[in-house]
Amino acid sequence: MSELKRVLTARSLGILTIGTVIGSGIFLVPSGVLRNSGGSLGIATAVWVVGGLLSFLGALTYAELGAMNPGTGGLYLYIRDAFGRAPAFAYGWTLFLVIGSGTVATLAVASTTYLAGWIPMSPLTQKLTAVAIAFGVSLINVFGTDRSTTILKAGTWLKVGAIVFLVLALPALGGGATSAPAPTPVTIGSAGLALVSVLWAYEGWQYLTFMAGETVDPQRNFPKGLAIGVFGLIAIYVAAATAYVVGIGAEAVMGSSRVAADAAGTVLGPNWGRLITIPIIVSMVTAVQANAMMSARVYFAMARDGVFFAPMGRLHQRYQTPAVAIASAAVVSAALAASGTFEVLLSYVVFVGWLFYALGGLAVIALRRVRPDAPRPFKVPGYPWTPALFVLSGLAIVVNTVVQDPRRGIIGLGASALAIPAYYLWQRLAASR
C-alpha cells in the first residue's frame, strides 16, 4: 500500500502553520473582540494573548502526541489510540461535516466580503463566488504536496508582509489613540465570546498534526515547527490588533466590518484601502487551500482504518495525494459556503472544534497511563498541568457557548453525537459485506 512522501521540514511546518492560521480572522474579528471587551484595548490585548497562549499550550500538548505517533491523520490517530475507534470516528465525522469543511466554507464566505470591495456583487453572486472558491481552491491540493506548499509559502509571505505594513503605517500616520471612548463593563460571558472570536483567528494550528506523516525527521522537526508557527502568530496578531486601534481609534474599529481595509482607507486614503484588500483576499484563499489540504489527511487515515469510504484511502496514481478525500470534502465545503453566513459558520466551527481539541489534550494524559513505556522523543513541558489547563480551557469554551447560545450549542453537540450511531451502523454494514 503506497504512503504519503515525507517532504516537510521544521521551517516548512512553521510557515505552513502561519499560512494556515492567518486567513480571515485578523482582518475581520478584531472589531467583535474589542466590542466584547467593552472597548478596552488592554482587555482586548489580554484576550488576544490568552488565545495565543491557549493555542501554544495545545501545540505543546499535541507535539508530544505528534512525535509519539508521527503518522498521517494527527488528532484522529491520537483520539483513536487513547480512547478507541468510536470517538475517533466521531471526530473525523464532525471534521468532515462541520469543523474542517466549515473552516473552508467560512474562509470562502469571508473572502467574498473583501472581494466585494473590488467587484460589486449581489448576495446570490457572493454565495456562488464563495462556492467556487471553496471547491476550486481545494482541488489545487490534488496536484502534489510540494506544489501546494510552494503556493502556500508565497501566499504566506504576501499576507505577513501586508500585516507588517499595516502594523508600521497605522500607528505612524493615524491618530486613533486620542479618540478612545470610555470602556464599558465586561462580563465573563462577553469576555468568553471575545475569546471565541480570537480562537477563530488562531484556528488551524492543530491541523498541522495531520501532516506529521509527511514530515522529515518528525520527532525533531514537528514540535519545532509548531513552536515557530504559534509564537509567530501571537506576535503578529497582538501587533495588528493594537495597530488598528492606535491607527483609527477604538470606536471606529468596533464599528467596522472590514477593519483592515477600513483602517488602511482611513489613514492612508481610499486607494490604499482598496489595495490592501488584495493580500487580504490572497490570505483567505490560501488559508482555504491549506485547511482543505490538511483536513483531507484525516479522511485518508480513516479510510485506511476501514471506518470511512474506501476510495478516500487511495492515492492519486500520478500526484500521490488523497485526491478522492480532497474532492469529497470540497463538495461539503461548497455546500456549507452556499448555506451560511460568516458569523454563523464561525461560531459552529470554533465551538464544536474545541470539544475535540480538549479530547486530544486528554489523550496525552490517557496515553501516559496506558502506554507509559512508549517512546516519547518530545515530552510536553509542565506535565500534567500543561495538558490539564488546555483541556479545562477547551471545556470552558464549550460550556460558555452553550450558556450564551443554547440553541447553537444543542445543534453543535447534536451533530457530533450523531457520529456514534453512525459509527456502529458503519461497523454493522462492514461486517455484513
Rounded to whole angstroms, the Cα distance separating 387 from 80 reads: 18
> pTM to 2 decimals?
0.78
Q: What's the pLDDT tens digit per position in 309-322?
A: 888 988 888 888 88
Q: Which residues touch 170 (CB under 8 Å, ≥6 apart)? A: 176, 243, 244, 246, 247, 248, 263, 264, 267
What is 375-405 written as a DSSP string? --SS--TTTTHHHHHHHHHHHHHHHHHHHH-
C-alpha cell at 299: 479522511
pLDDT at 406 over 70: yes
Q: Map grid coordinates 505528534 to a residue.
A: 66
27 belongs to a structural domain? yes
4 belongs to a structural domain? no
C-alpha cell at 23: 486567513
Query: Which of the pair, 247 or 186, is modelled with greater confidence?
Result: 247
Q: What's the pLDDT tens digit per position in 346-363?
A: 566 667 788 888 999 999
Q: What's the pLDDT tens digit per position in 17-74?
A: 887 788 767 887 898 888 888 888 888 899 998 888 888 888 888 888 887 887 777 8
Q: Map grid coordinates 482555504 to a residue.
A: 288
pLDDT at 150: 79
Domain count along the chain: 1
Q: What's the pLDDT tens digit per position in 375-404?
A: 887 788 888 998 998 898 888 878 877 787
Rounded to whole angstroms, the Cα distance separating 217 from 9 reads: 8
Give alpha helix (H) positions in 174-276: 188-202, 218-248, 250-254, 259-268, 270-275
2 belongs to a structural domain? no
293: three-class secondary structure by DSSP: helix
Domain of residue 60, residue span = 10-432
In this structure, what CATH number is given to the domain that contains residue 35? 1.20.1740.10
pLDDT at 324: 92
Region for residue 166 given its phi and psi (left: phi exceeds 0; alpha: psi -120 to 50; beta: otherwise): alpha
318 belongs to a structural domain? yes
User: Would the CA dihedral through 398, 401, 403, 408 be positive or negative?
Assistant: negative
- Is the distance from CB of 230 to CB of 73 less than 8 angstroms? no
194 belongs to a structural domain? yes
Rounded to whole angstroms, the Cα distance separating 232 from 24 reads: 17
The residue-averaged pLDDT of 155-177 equals: 84
19 belongs to a structural domain? yes
